[in-house]
Amino acid sequence: MRVASAATSTSLRLAYGAMAGPSARRSFATTSRFMKAYGFIGLGRMGWPMAKNLRAKIGKSDTLIVYDVSSDAVQKLQKEADGEVEAAKSVREVAEKAETILTALPEPHHVQKVYSEMLEPATLRTEAPNKNERLLIDCSTIDPKTSEEVTEKVLSSGAGKFCDAPMSGGVVGATNATLAFMVGCPDEMVDRVKEVLGLLGRRVIHMGPPTSGLKGKLANNYLLALNNIATCEAMNMGIKWGLDGKVLAELINNATGKCWPSESNNPVPGVLEVAPANRDYEGGFGTALMAKDLGLALTALEQADLKPVLGQHAQEVYKAVQQDDKCKNRDFSVVYRWLGGKE
Ligand code: NAD
């Protein structure tokens, strides 16, 4: 399995190398004159505020054309942007009219469908250097294998270039343009990708070649999934033994157990004022999204012939939490409640 994937990565590198000839590079160097038409597909919880920020930050004469299967989301954006957003009738229309296109879609199969619809029939060829090369940026969290297939599809179509750029920062980050993006693309694409994503976030980290952004994101979220459960268990045991929650959290956060869930998202109500635990676990990072990311990480591990020691058990915990009516769809720190923690 790993050998096959390494071979595909090599073919990707070769394909990118072939496309990045002198004329392609020349077109990057002269981007600003051509980067006038932007597209956005997938106006959900993340995509809608991102598209709104994009419209506000690009030039007044630049165009933004959007598509979502939900016409409500499109109309709401048009209203918000005083009609300065064009509504496409299909994803293909976005691909035809825009040179820089972002997608923020829920699952791998949505990404596959949208990119197939954009690229087929394969008549959308980029004519660098006269026309700026089309850049397709996928901000969805999906598995690296699907993303690799999409990369190949874009390259073989000749329609442009593609990069994976999953994000973190949640809806608050999308709204405030403070997202962090983890990018997978060849070195020569980095400047242009950073220029675009810099409009929507605070940090753009180039992780390496295609799929590296997703691999980084999934490795981080795998760790987060485990740290969260461990924090909930540790807080629960300490409090059940009679310790004060705030004092225990202070100890952990000044000792070796410190992690993001203990310090910034503590699961015990009353310990940290700003944490979702103080709002009945509303908002924050939902258990369904955590289960999704963990599932993607486990799939990617399997594809790489790696055996997780803790991940599968953690996945069972998040699935059980989602089936509990008192915990379902709340911030993932609600695992503390699911464990029977004192509130
Ligand atoms: P969402 O479900 O709220 O939005 C997805 C949007 O895509 C919806 O508006 C839906 O109508 C649209 N869509 C689905 N199929 C489509 C198609 N064929 N054509 C056009 N539009 C289509 O999802 P979200 O919360 O915005 O997340 C988007 C991605 O970002 C996901 O991959 C998610 O894992 C990731 N992400 C989400 C968060 C978060 O806090 N919500 C944080 C980081 C990363």
The one-character DSSP state at 248 is: H
Here the CATH number for the domain that contains residue 239 is 1.10.1040.10
CB 198 within 8 A of CB 179: no
Q: Sorting pLDDT into bands at 50, 70 and 90, what band is 128? A: low
Q: Is the CB of 109 under 6 A from ligand 1?
A: no
Domain for residue 343, yes or no? no
Residue 6 has pLDDT above 80, yes or no: no
Residue 10 has pLDDT above 50, yes or no: no
Q: Which of 183, 210, 237 is the last residue of a domain?
A: 210
The residues facing 206 across adjacent strands are 183
Domain for residue 1, yes or no? no
Q: What is the pLDDT of residues 285-329, one digit of tens each?
A: 999 999 999 999 999 999 999 999 999 999 999 999 999 999 999
- Statement to judge: residues 116 and 12 lie in one domain: yes
- Statement to judge: residues 171 and 264 lie in one domain: no
Domain for residue 162, yes or no? yes
What pLDDT sits at residue 126? Answer: 67
Q: Is the CB of 113 under 6 A from ligand 1?
A: yes
CA 178 to CA 310: how far, in whole Å?
A: 31
As a three-state string, the secondary structure of 6-73 is: HHHHHHHHHHHHHHCCHHHHHHHHCHHHHCCEEEEECCCCCHHHHHHHHHHHCCCCCEEEEECCCHHH
- Statement to judge: residues 318 and 251 lie in one domain: yes
CB 214 within 8 A of CB 318: no
- Statement to judge: residues 132 and 189 lie in one domain: yes
Which of 105, 164, 203, 329 is the pocket-test mutation for ligand 1 (most atoms within 8 Å of CB)?
105
DSSP string, 168-202: ESHHHHHHHT-EEEEEE--GGGHHHHHHHHTTTEE
- Statement to judge: residues 62 and 192 lie in one domain: yes
- Statement to judge: residues 201 and 294 lie in one domain: no
What is the extent of the structural domain holding 62? 6-210
Q: Is the CB of 105 under 6 A from ligand 1?
A: yes
The residues facing 203 across adjacent strands are 180
| Structure tokens, 110 | 């949505």
Q: Which of 172, 189, 210 is the last residue of a domain?
A: 210
Q: Is the CB of 171 under 6 A from ligand 1?
A: yes
- Statement to judge: residues 158 and 234 lie in one domain: no
Q: What is the pLDDT of residues 32-68, one digit of tens each?
A: 444 589 999 999 999 999 999 999 999 999 999 999 9
Q: Is the CB of 221 under 6 A from ligand 1?
A: no
Domain for residue 329, yes or no? yes
Known catalytic membership, residue 319: no
Residue 1 has pLDDT above 70, yes or no: no
Domain for residue 51, yes or no? yes
Q: Is the CB of 45 under 6 A from ligand 1?
A: yes
Domain for residue 258, yes or no? yes
- Statement to judge: residues 125 and 72 lie in one domain: yes
Q: Which of 210, 229, 263 is the last residue of a domain?
A: 210
Q: Give the distance (Å) from ligand 1 centre to CA of residue 104.
A: 5
Judged on CB neighbours under 10 Å (0-12, 13-18, 19+), 170 is middle
Domain count, the chain: 2
- Statement to judge: residues 87 and 205 lie in one domain: yes
7-21, 85-99, 237-251: range with lowest mean pLDDT: 7-21
- Statement to judge: residues 186 and 236 lie in one domain: no
Considering 76, 217, 246, 319, which one is annotated as catalytic? 217
Here the CATH number for the domain that contains residue 52 is 3.40.50.720
- Statement to judge: residues 245 and 162 lie in one domain: no
- Statement to judge: residues 120 and 91 lie in one domain: yes
Ligand 1: nearest atom to the Cα of 47: 26
What pLDDT sits at residue 33? Answer: 45
Which of 40, 65, 69 is the pocket-test mutation for ligand 1 (most atoms within 8 Å of CB)?
69
